A and B are shown apart, each in its own frame.
Chain A
Amino acid sequence: MRERRHAAVAGIIAAALGCRSQDVPDDAPVGSLPQWDSIAHMNIIMAFEERLGRQLTAEETASLETVASFAALLEPQAPGRA
């Protein structure tokens, strides 16, 4: 399950950055990949919100530190999830 979540997140991020999913490690900090600039970050969050079907809360937006922290938002107990 965890792998599936990571794969989904890596896919969203890779699509926004124009790279391969394999190049998006789970522990990569936000902004650590060369293509990951402020505009790419905006595109990632918007794509991620589309996948979630809702807007991220302010706290969620501020808490995004690594690729894994995006994946954590897909967990059933994540805030804002029914």
Chain B
Amino acid sequence: MGLAELRAPIESERFLLVPLGRWRAFRLTYSWTKDSSFMSSYCGSGERRSPWKWYREMVRPNNRTKFVHAIVPHGQTRPIGVHMMVMRPPKSCSLAVGIHSRDWWGRGVVQEVRSRIIEHIFDHSDVERLHTLVMARNFPSVFNSRKLGFIHVGTLHRARLDKATGEVQDLLLFEMFREQWMAGKGLADA
């Protein structure tokens, strides 16, 4: 268990997950901020952002406690999305993901990437609790969270305003503890 392992690229069946530095994360994701419908499901708001506003808003990786992994299909160089993890005391980690390439929607990317990332976190850190906030109308994300074994533990009502559409959304809080993941993994392996 150590930082070097935690910082290492991660490989899954179809993807290489490459930890990005701050500047590369910004350069990659800023181009996506012009895609309003993607940003609505990714960040809850599809309004246009200036470079500075996006820099302030995005997860700025330090590759110690905050990571942004580019999701790169094997045999390709262009990332199709990013996965973020932010570790905070006490032994907690929040997760978020955005798949920008429509060609990969509905192809199990989130399931594959996130399960590999969760394994990586539990193998190489002392994190005990994972959580993720999902917009209630983002049904694919709700599906993915549940299927991975996350449990719905609370709802934040009328918590997010999409400035592009004026729509106000509820957020669902999902969490999972290390022992729950291990138990689920045991069942899958059995």
**B129 to chain A: closest CB distance in Å?**
18
Q: How far is the CA of A30 from the CA of B137 in the complex (A)?
A: 17
Residue on A nearest B151 in the bound complex, by CB: A62
10 more contacts with CB within 8 A, not counting A31-B143, A38-B140, A58-B172, are: A41-B139, A41-B140, A41-B143, A46-B139, A59-B155, A61-B142, A62-B146, A62-B155, A62-B172, A63-B152
Q: How far is the CB of A60 from chain B (nearest CB, A)?
A: 9
Contact (Cβ within 8 A) B106 A37: yes
Residues of chain A from 3 to 58 with CB closer than 8 A to chain B in the complex: 30-31, 37-42, 45-46, 55, 57-58
Give the total number of A-B pairs whose CB atoms are below 8 A apart: 52
Cβ-defined contact, B155 with A58, below 8 A: yes
In the complex, A8→B58 CA distance in Å? 44
A65 at interface, CB cutoff 8 A: yes
Cβ of A38 and Cβ of B157 under 8 Å apart? Answer: no
Q: Across the interface, do A39 and B140 meet the contact criterion of CB distance under 8 Å? A: yes
Q: Once the chains bind, are B143 and A38 in contact (CB under 8 Å)?
A: yes
Give A contacts to B, CB under 8 Å. 30-31, 37-42, 45-46, 55, 57-59, 61-63, 65
Residues of B within 8 A of A39 (CB): 105-106, 140
Report B130-146 CB contacts with A as 1/0, cut-off 8 Å: 00000011011111101
With A58-B136, A58-B155 as given contacts, are A38 and B172 in contact (CB-CB < 8 Å)? no
Complex Cα spacing A61 to B157, Å:
13
From B110, B136, B155, B171, A38 is in contact (CB under 8 Å) with B110
Which residues of B sit under 8 angstroms from A42, Cβ to Cβ?
139-140, 143
Asked whether B11 is an interface residue with its Cβ less than 8 Å from the other chain, the reply is no
CA distance A39 to B110 in the complex (A): 12
Q: Judging by beta carbons under 8 Å apart, are A58 and B170 in contact?
A: yes
CB contacts (< 8 Å) of B171 on chain A: these are: 58
